[in-house]
Chains A and B, each alone.
Chain A
Amino acid sequence: MSNRQVAKSAEKKKVFSSGSSHLSVPFRYRDSILRWAPALLFISIFFFYPLTKILGLGVNSSVFLSPESLQIALDSLGFTLYQAVLSMLLTLLVGLPAAYLFARYDFRGKALLRALTAVPFMLPTVVVAAGFNALLGPRGWLNLSLMNLLDLDSPPINILYTLGAILLAHVFYNTTIVIRVVGNALSRLDPRLIEASRLLGADPWRAFWRITFPLLRPAILAAALLVFLFDFTSFGVILLLGGPKFATLEVEIYIQTLQMLNLPVAALLSIIQLLCTLTFSILYSRMLAQTSTQVAQQDSESQLRRSKNKRERIFIFTMITILFALFVLPMLALPLRSVSRLEADRGDRADLQTSLTSDYYNELFINRRGSRFYVPPIEAALNSLEYAGITVALSLLMGFPVASALAKPNRMDRFLDPLLMLPLGASAVTLGLGFIIAFSRPPLNLIASPWLVPLAHTIIALPFVIRSLQPALASIPQRYREAAAMLGASSLRTWFTVDFPIVFRAVLAAATFAFTVSLGEFGATSLLARPESPTIPTAIYRFLSQPGGLNYGQAMAMASILMILTTLSIFLIEKLRLPGRGGW
């Protein structure tokens, strides 16, 4: 292209763009409106409408603000806060040294250990519960081994169904947040700042309190708040590992809805829950804004080092042991337990039989009880796959246009953006409750429809899909297209060689994300799935809450399958993520 031609086309562009700015506002935003419409319509019907129904039910009911209801609300709010604060403190206790370990030291197997600590975050709660059960439960590895070793009649460790189990699982889940957030801040912290303070006369202790700590404080607070938020809204872990007597707001909503059939009280609890999460979320985003401005940028690789002295080696060894025990053992115990028969024969306790078995997996295909409500577990898997498929399709159909609008956002896109993220703040149980209240009678009676569960899953998956598509779509810079064009590619070829590979990877990653979310979703599903069509998580929950070694084994088997599927998905997503593009 000659210079003159370039100038001409530039001029053309100028005319064109100045022309378009004179267009009326609705026309200017027409593209955006078209892209947002499906998603907005969807969350209006399936998120905001149920929420208003919850609110309406509460306001119109006489029990809503009765002393009994308020007492329940106060009790469960108190316990929710108590366990969340405790969990958060314990998570910091493990997470802060772990963050230091990963940010400052180089050791063998570091990448693997780091990846392993990140896996739990996306693992379904039923899998985590099953994993801890396989390790620490009355039929778990530890108890059976101890019983055999010490010749005991009953399991010596009774951590399951105590507050301890809940706290442990929360630490397991959320330590990775502390490692990521504080670890990132720590590795971006310029080590020269510490050195500078040392040369100015600060001993190591004062250097820490005057330099390191003040610079990390915003990151630590942000991580703590996020961990707190997750612990506050935790549901599956508490129901499965603590049992109904540990009634947090979430568990209480579940109980009031399904067991007490007291929807107004459930509505009251939901509203309290929503207000709390909203407050904490706002606090968290304030905190996050601070972290980015406070910390000096610094090449993080340059400060990794191997241990120098004995004290450092002891620290590294201890931390690796703790992290291994916390993150690897439960996830190892689960699949191993699902293929081992560990029960001693009746009356023959001294001689523990240990043998490999595939019984638990074979049982998954058999309908033992011949009951309508006890469909063979394999059907739960098929249900789950069907729901996940629908969720993937729906969330991609609605998420892709929104993500492409957000890739190059105008003012309206920026305004609408937080709206679609709101479902992240509402708990899944609240969503389930809203669905029950809103869609159990005309005009929209869906309660018997197989669509109800995937619709709820789509609401939960949509923000993740948008957030994982958007950076990839935004990352296709005009420069690449121009470079391809200058190298002689036609616009169609440009799309296929430049856009398509990036878009394809992003869509695949987002689909995997939605798939994983749907597959493991427990909160909303536990309220919405009908007994005759369970999903994998609700089936696991059912098996776990029934007595007998066979039920236990089947729970282990299904949880193992779910764990393997989820872990594969997580690694696939990691692989698909564009290098250098952070987080979701």
Chain B
Amino acid sequence: MLILSNIHKTYEGKPLLKGISLEVGEGETICLLGPSGGGKTTLLRIIAGLENAEDGEVSWNRKDISSVPPHKRNFGLIFQDYALFPHLNVFDNVAFGLKMQKLGRDEIHQRVIKSLQQVDLLGFETRRVTDLSGGEQQRVALARALAPRPHLLLFDEPLGALDRKLREYLLAELRSILQESGVPAIYVTHDQEEAFTLADRVLLLHNGEIVQRGTPAEVYAHPHSGWVAEFLGAGNVVQGKILMDDLVETFFGTVKMPVEERQAEGTLSAPLRVQASVTLLIRPQDVRIGDLSSPLRGTVKDIIFQQDRYKVVLKGGFYFYLSDPVNVGEEIGLKIKMGKIQRLAE
């Protein structure tokens, strides 16, 4: 299957990808998740053969394909803005890859129809692609990529340009198509919801490096760093200083840091000195309102209505949820569920 090892790439003199290694197994969907401009698209283009890595190797079934041109790789790529051929109709767009494989007329016809069926666009064959809606264009793009039976599907933020409702609908459809077809896929996005919906494994890309990888549930439950926790919106990432033993001083009071049974990835096992700084993750669902005698206190800065609850934001940015509103400017005490605070790498 696909293995990338130690891929390097610079962009305008600055390093963009700093030694990316990953592999995609049989029938597996992995998602590259990271902020815009982080090099995700470039990595995808290197896999597709549209760009060359400056260092490192792309291999397919243990063969180095770094110098194989894109048209000989038989990978499918779905672009964010679809890139449908405007001078061809729906049928000819989908048939393009099959014609390149020099298949017979009948077979091309059969397979185009089958692909259109897969994306639920039967009957659209003679339509001009420029007359289609965004969602329909996206599905033509998918059918076009699927028709030549690619070894690997590459998605470059394919739903980015669509509105929320359509995105959710297509996401579900995409999930079932990927599961049915069994084609391995790499899906690039900055949207964790998309990533978590589709991915067997998620790879977080930050500053040109993969900072964490794992199943969606693992990544969400145990973010390795403050950056990952903040990017995923896992909760409050709070800086603090060790007072003594497991007591940590933060800007809103002193919290007790649990000695975790599970020392994630071994990075946190170093003994902590007094005054050492630590990064903590406090998830909003573990925070309750307490009385004012609590060692944890804050002043309410803002309160935001969210359908079934209120989001309470304290001065300093710390947030949690309440079912009943409190007053802005009010000082409140907080309780944090025992043993729920997580310590993160810097």
Contact = CB atoms under 8 A, between A and B. Distances in A.
Contact of B97 (A192, A195, A200): A200
Contacts of A215: 86-87
Contacts of B101: 201
Interface in B61-116: 69-77, 79, 81, 83-87, 96-97, 100-101
B85 A196 contact: yes
Contact of B85 (A197, A198, A199): A197
B50 A202 contact: no
Interface in A187-236: 190, 192-193, 195-203, 206-207, 210-211, 214-215
A196 B86 contact: no
A295 interface: yes
Nearest to A203: B71
A296 B137 CA distance: 14
B216 interface: no
Contact of B96 (A192, A197, A214): A197
Nearest to B45: A195
Contacts of A203: 69, 71
Interface string A113-144: 00000000000000000000000000000000
A197 B95 CA distance: 11
Contacts, number: 69
A405 to B, nearest CB: 34
B74 A190 contact: no
A190 B97 contact: no
Given A201-B74, A201-B97, A296-B86, A196 B148 contact: no
A296 B84 CA distance: 9
Given A200-B144, A200-B148, A201-B100, A193 B85 contact: yes
A311 to B, nearest CB: 15
B205 interface: no
A197 to B, nearest CB: 7
B233 to A, nearest CB: 30
Given A200-B100, A201-B97, A195 B83 contact: yes
B86 A198 contact: no
B48 interface: yes
B71 A201 contact: yes
A515 to B, nearest CB: 42
Contact of A195 (B77, B145, B148): B77
A124 to B, nearest CB: 41
A304 to B, nearest CB: 13
A294 interface: yes
Interface string A160-203: 00000000000000000000000000000010110111111111
Interface in B26-53: 48-50
- Residue of A190, A200, A207, A210 contacting most chain B CB atoms (<10 Å): A200
Given A200-B100, A201-B100, A202-B100, A195 B70 contact: yes
Contacts of B71: 198-203, 207
Contacts of B76: 199-200
A310 to B, nearest CB: 16
Contacts of A201: 71-72, 74, 97, 100-101, 148
Contact of B77 (A199, A206, A294): A199
Nearest to A198: B70
Given A192-B79, A192-B81, A199 B86 contact: no
Nearest to B48: A199
**Chain A interface, >50% SS class:** helix
A194 to B, nearest CB: 9
Nearest to B100: A201
Contacts of B69: 198, 203
Contacts of A192: 79, 81, 83
Nearest to A195: B50
A299 to B, nearest CB: 11
A245 B74 CA distance: 62
Given A206-B100, A294-B87, A199 B81 contact: no
A294 B81 contact: no
A211 B85 CA distance: 7
A206 B145 CA distance: 18
A199 B321 CA distance: 48
Nearest to B72: A201
B210 to A, nearest CB: 24
Contacts of A207: 71
A445 to B, nearest CB: 59
- Residue of B73, B79, B144 contacting most chain A CB atoms (<10 Å): B79
A294 B70 CA distance: 26
B58 to A, nearest CB: 14
Contact of B75 (A193, A197, A199, A294): A199
Contacts of B86: 193, 215, 294-296
Contacts of A202: 71, 96, 100
Nearest to B144: A200
A195 B83 CA distance: 9
A465 B126 CA distance: 45
A468 B76 CA distance: 48
Contacts of B83: 190, 192-193, 195-196
A202 B95 CA distance: 12
A294 B88 CA distance: 10
Contacts of B74: 201
B77 A214 contact: no
Contacts of B75: 199
Contacts of A210: 96
A207 B86 CA distance: 14
B188 to A, nearest CB: 15
A269 to B, nearest CB: 41
Given A201-B71, A201-B100, A201-B101, A196 B87 contact: no
Nearest to A197: B96
A297 B123 CA distance: 27
Interface string B116-145: 000000000000000000000000000011
Nearest to B150: A199
A192 B137 CA distance: 15
A195 B96 CA distance: 13
Contacts of A296: 86
Contacts of A211: 85
Given A190-B81, A193-B83, A195-B48, 5 more contacts: A199-B75, A199-B145, A200-B96, A200-B148, A201-B97
22 contacts: A190-B81, A190-B83, A192-B83, A195-B70, A195-B77, A196-B77, A196-B85, A196-B144, A198-B69, A199-B70, A199-B75, A199-B145, A200-B71, A200-B97, A200-B145, A201-B97, A202-B96, A202-B100, A207-B71, A214-B87, A215-B87, A294-B87
Per CB-CB distance, the 8 closest pairs between chain A and chain B, nearest first, are: A201-B100, A200-B97, A192-B83, A198-B70, A196-B83, A199-B77, A201-B71, A214-B87
